[in-house]
Amino acid sequence: MSLSFHIGFNGQCKEAFEFYAEHLNGTLGTMLEFKDSPVAASVSKEWQHKIVHANILIEGIELAGGDVRPEQYQKPQGFNILLGVKNESRVKSLFEQFSDGGEVILPPQKTFFSSCYAIVVDRFGVPWKFSCGT
């Protein structure tokens, strides 16, 4: 059995996955455009270069995604991607990078369960929580 996460993007999947690869030291895998897939005829000419399926491996965990047609897109809600990191400086660095153009929910701070914890919705609409040890 394997577990993966799949996120629908509003036309920004390629940009998001390149950002995640850069800032999370991930390895990009598939980056399949609609034009190169069996469903190419189902989308408009303007949508052919959008991503039907992509994946990235981040420290052994797969994150998958694709661009959802505009009429089907829904902003992610009801979940956060929780990323545990080694130290406070890494939480603060990720928070700074991911909050650029995004929405700050909770700036980095000490909590009863983490020595540094932060919540942000990145510029792609994906909610993240960053935490380091207690």
Answer yes or no: is 12 within a domain: yes
Return all residues near 36 (Cβ < 8 A) that are at least 6 apart.
none
Chain Cα centroid distance, residue 11? 13
Q: Which tens digits make up the pLDDT trace of 40-89? A: 998 999 999 999 999 999 988 999 999 998 888 999 999 999 999 999 99
**89 and 111 share a domain?**
yes
8-51 pLDDT, tens digit each: 999 999 999 999 999 999 999 999 999 999 999 989 999 999 99
% of the chain exceeding 90 in pLDDT:
87
Backbone phi and psi for residue 71, each to the nearest 5 degrees, phi listed first:
-75, -10
pTM of the full predicted structure? 0.92
Tell me the pLDDT tens digit for each residue of 89-103.
Answer: 999 999 999 999 999
d(CA 65, CA 85): 23
CA distance 91 to 84: 9
CATH number of the domain within which 54 lies: 3.10.180.10
The whole domain housing 28 covers 4-67
Q: What is the mean pLDDT of the chain?
A: 94
End position of a domain, from candidates 12, 41, 67: 67
